């Protein structure tokens, strides 16, 4: 294993590591606004539950990444992992910010295509890409993250004219991160990517048998909601060590290095993820030092964050209905949404912060459980939160819901997915319409013998 000196970072930036959207405010009546627009009015216009996204927060976080790459590294490509939240408006916003797009399905690609997102700025991931997906990449000159030999077989079969195909090889670097901890192992049990030990042979094979394939570099992604900086740095170093071998033994110099996404965000005030600037600085330093040490040309450094670009920008507003008090046991405060619009609590035991609109968040505190409305006892959004006493009809805000909420939403119990509105200082715009009851029926058919 390679060892590197301990590196320290010293970024003098103001923190944007806020739990709440940057444009969040409360007036003297404790009414909440986003970018100057009252929640109450937004809900009146668009209904509840409502996903609200603060545009200023997304742009600030994008710019924090971009500025940090410029300051600490040089040539880079910031790629938004759109699985966190993919819809037309977000693709457009990323395009306007000159951010590239990581897609993992024909659906995400189709959304980007529908708004003319520049296809040369898209990369396509996946451990089991379909022929249709590979075909779409080839037709649109989308860079393919080569994950396995099935990808290679499909590329070769479908690329009839043998035109140039740009790929990045995904590897399992032997570093795995489960949120706050990470482990280094020789081999990793993962459905994604090639084993690092096989990469040299793979590159040699590609060079010999697939001359139309252009290998841009290697990729690794070690996990999500990560609070440590060392694992990503270590993964980068493992990859660069391989670059050195590839250069020495095959004479090929990689031009890109993709170190994945994964930076964590604050869901609770006690969460303390690194600053965007710090993770970029830390990784950049490691890459620069390793390139010097291994005599490599500095590659274009790619990072593909999802959550850390959009999660803190998002809130979900619910209306409170039933309040069930079981004396000496528990008080359930029930909202008009739940696991269908935010599956993360039931799926990952994810924790969230919530507050009431128009009530002082520091007064009249009691411990309650925020329950969803879906037919499953486990449909609880927040267990045992200390919150201002709630009444029926109050609006409840859950924070940090910009990532992996809408994108993982379901129609469980035939729920209609909520609307999403993008808010900035000049106005608010509906970017995803609320599903209607007819939307639910759109795909249903009744066979003639039943009608
Ligand atoms: N790149 C690759 C190859 C990934 O698999 C992922 C996330 C990302 C980038 C972006 O990671 P981020 O910066 O968002 O952490 N549904 C889970 C998260 C799954 C993440 C999957 N891969 C959740 O709700 O926490």
Distance 177 CA to ligand 1 centre (A): 12
Q: Which residues contact 313 (CB under 8 A, 6 or more apart)?
A: 21, 53, 54, 55, 57, 58, 61, 402
Identify the DSSP state of 263: B
pLDDT band, very low/low/confident/very high, at 377 (cuts 50, 70, 90): very high
Question: Three-class SS of residue 302?
Answer: strand
Q: Read off the pTM.
A: 0.96
**Is pLDDT above 50 for 167?**
yes
Structure tokens at 33: 């606004």
Structure tokens at 400: 């940090």
**Residue identifier of the C-alpha nearest atom 20 of ligand 1:** 224
CB 80 within 8 A of CB 102: yes
Task: Give the C-alpha separation, 426 to 432, whole Å.
Answer: 19
**Residue identifier of the C-alpha nearest atom 17 of ligand 1:** 404
Please indicate whether residue 344, judged by its CB atom, sits closer than 6 Å to ligand 1. Answer: yes
* Closest atom, ligand 1, to C-alpha of 260: 1
pLDDT band, very low/low/confident/very high, at 424 (cuts 50, 70, 90): very high
Task: Give the C-alpha separation, 82 to 29, whole Å.
Answer: 37
Q: Which CATH number fits domain 125-305: 2.40.50.100, 3.20.20.10, 3.40.630.10, 3.50.50.60?
A: 3.20.20.10
Average pLDDT over residues 416-436: 98
Buried b (16+ CB within 10 A) or exposed e, 179-207: eeebeeeeebeeebbbebeebeebbeebe
CB 143 within 8 A of CB 216: yes
Which pLDDT value is given to residue 144?
A: 98
Question: Three-class SS of residue 133?
Answer: helix
- Mutating to test ligand 1, I would choose from 108, 128, 224 the residue with most ligand atoms within 8 A of its C-beta, which is 224
Which pLDDT value is given to residue 13?
A: 54
Which residue is listed with tokens 């790619």? 302
pLDDT band, very low/low/confident/very high, at 177 (cuts 50, 70, 90): confident
**Is pLDDT above 80 for 4?**
no
Which pLDDT value is given to residue 6?
A: 41
Which pLDDT value is given to residue 1?
A: 38
pLDDT band, very low/low/confident/very high, at 268 (cuts 50, 70, 90): very high
Please indicate whether residue 306, judged by its CB atom, sits closer than 6 Å to ligand 1. Answer: yes
Which pLDDT value is given to residue 185?
A: 64
Task: Give the C-alpha separation, 279 to 303, whole Å.
Answer: 11
**Residue identifier of the C-alpha nearest atom 21 of ligand 1:** 224
CB 168 within 8 A of CB 217: yes
Distance 307 CA to ligand 1 centre (A): 7
Which pLDDT value is given to residue 2?
A: 41
* Closest atom, ligand 1, to C-alpha of 125: 3
**Is pLDDT above 50 for 426?**
yes
CB 405 within 8 A of CB 342: yes
* Closest atom, ligand 1, to C-alpha of 226: 15
pLDDT band, very low/low/confident/very high, at 90 (cuts 50, 70, 90): very high
Which pLDDT value is given to residue 16?
A: 84
Which pLDDT value is given to residue 257?
A: 98
Proportion of the chain above pLDDT 90, given as a percent? 91
Distance 85 CA to ligand 1 centre (A): 11
pLDDT band, very low/low/confident/very high, at 188 (cuts 50, 70, 90): confident
Distance 70 CA to ligand 1 centre (A): 24
| Domain coordinates in residue numbering, the chain | 125-305, 312-439
Helix 55-72 and helix 88-96, axial crossing angle in degrees, nearest 10: 40
Please indicate whether residue 260, judged by its CB atom, sits closer than 6 Å to ligand 1. Answer: yes
Which pLDDT value is given to residue 174?
A: 85
Distance 124 CA to ligand 1 centre (A): 14
pLDDT band, very low/low/confident/very high, at 11 (cuts 50, 70, 90): very low
**Residue identifier of the C-alpha nearest atom 3 of ligand 1:** 221
- CA–CA distance from 2 to each of 238, 256, 294, 302, 413 (Å)? 8, 21, 12, 22, 52
**Is pLDDT above 70 for 370?**
yes
Distance 431 CA to ligand 1 centre (A): 23
Structure tokens at 419: 């609307």
CATH architecture for the domain at 312-439: Beta Barrel (2.40)
* Closest atom, ligand 1, to C-alpha of 403: 24
pLDDT band, very low/low/confident/very high, at 3 (cuts 50, 70, 90): very low
DSSP string of 188-253?
Answer: ---SSSEEGGGHHHHHHHHHHH-TTEEEEEEE----SSB--SHHHHHHHHHHHHHHHHHHHHH---
Please indicate whether residue 84, judged by its CB atom, sits closer than 6 Å to ligand 1. Answer: yes
The mean pLDDT value of the chain amounts to 95
Which residue is listed with tokens 């935010």? 342
Distance 328 CA to ligand 1 centre (A): 40
Same CATH fold assignment for domains 125-305 and 312-439:
no
Please indicate whether residue 21, judged by its CB atom, sits closer than 6 Å to ligand 1. Answer: no
Angle ∠(348,354,357) on CA atoms, nearest 5: 150
Please indicate whether residue 17, judged by its CB atom, sits closer than 6 Å to ligand 1. Answer: no
Please indicate whether residue 305, judged by its CB atom, sits closer than 6 Å to ligand 1. Answer: yes
**Residue identifier of the C-alpha nearest atom 8 of ligand 1:** 261
Question: Tell me: the pLDDT tens digits for 277-312?
Answer: 999 999 999 999 999 999 999 999 999 999 999 999
Which residue is listed with tokens 């970072």? 9
Structure tokens at 447: 């066979």
Distance 15 CA to ligand 1 centre (A): 23
- Mutating to test ligand 1, I would choose from 83, 103, 259 the residue with most ligand atoms within 8 A of its C-beta, which is 83
Instruction: Judge whether 375 counts as a catalytic residue.
Output: yes
Task: Give the C-alpha separation, 387 to 86, whole Å.
Answer: 32
């Amino acid at each position: 294993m390679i060892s590197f000196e301990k590196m320290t970072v010293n970024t003098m930036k103001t923190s944007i590591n806020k739990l709440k959207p940057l444009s969040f405010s409360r007036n003297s009546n404790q009414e909440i606004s986003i970018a100057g627009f009252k929640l109450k009015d937004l809900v009146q216009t668009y209904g509840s539950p409502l996903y609200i996204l603060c545009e200023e927060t997304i742009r600030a976080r994008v710019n924090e990444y971009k500025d940090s790459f410029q300051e600490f590294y040089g040539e880079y490509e910031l790629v938004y992992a759109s699985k966190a939240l993919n819809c037309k408006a977000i693709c457009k916003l990323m395009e306007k910010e000159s951010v590239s797009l990581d897609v993992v399905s024909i659906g995400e690609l189709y959304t980007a295509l529908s708004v003319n997102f520049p296809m040369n700025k898209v990369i396509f991931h996946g451990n089991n890409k379909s022929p249709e997906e590979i075909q779409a990449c080839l037709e649109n000159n989308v860079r393919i993250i080569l994950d396995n030999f099935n990808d290679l077989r499909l590329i070769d079969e479908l690329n009839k004219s043998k035109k140039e195909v740009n790929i990045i090889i995904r590897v399992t670097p032997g570093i795995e991160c489960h949120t706050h901890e990470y482990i280094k192992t020789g081999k990793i049990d993962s459905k994604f990517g090639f084993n690092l030990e096989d990469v040299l042979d793979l590159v040699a094979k590609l060079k010999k048998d697939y001359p139309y394939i252009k290998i841009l570099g290697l990729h690794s992604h070690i996990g999500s909601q990560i609070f440590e900086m060392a694992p990503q740095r270590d993964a980068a170093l493992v990859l660069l060590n391989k670059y050195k071998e590839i250069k020495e033994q095959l004479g090929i110099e990689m031009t890109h290095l993709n170190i994945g996404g994964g930076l964590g965000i604050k869901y609770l005030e006690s969460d303390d993820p690194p600053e965007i600037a710090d993770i970029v600085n830390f990784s950049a330093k490691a890459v620069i030092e390793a390139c010097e040490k291994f005599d490599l040309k500095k590659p274009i450094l790619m990072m593909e964050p999802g959550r850390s670009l959009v999660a803190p920008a998002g809130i979900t507003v619910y209306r409170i209905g039933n309040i069930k008090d079981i004396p000496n046991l528990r008080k359930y405060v029930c909202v008009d949404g739940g696991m269908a619009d935010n599956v993360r609590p039931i799926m990952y035991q994810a924790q969230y912060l919530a507050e009431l609109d128009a009530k002082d968040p520091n007064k009249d505190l009691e411990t309650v459980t925020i329950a969803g409305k879906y037919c499953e006892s486990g449909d609880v959004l927040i267990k045992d939160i200390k919150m201002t006493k709630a009444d029926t009809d109050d609006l409840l805000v859950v924070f940090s819901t910009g990532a992996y909420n809408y994108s993982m939403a379901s129609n469980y119990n035939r729920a209609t997915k909520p609307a999403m509105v993008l808010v900035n200082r000049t106005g608010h715009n509906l970017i995803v319409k609320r599903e209607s009851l007819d939307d639910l029926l759109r795909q249903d058919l009744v066979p003639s013998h039943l009608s």
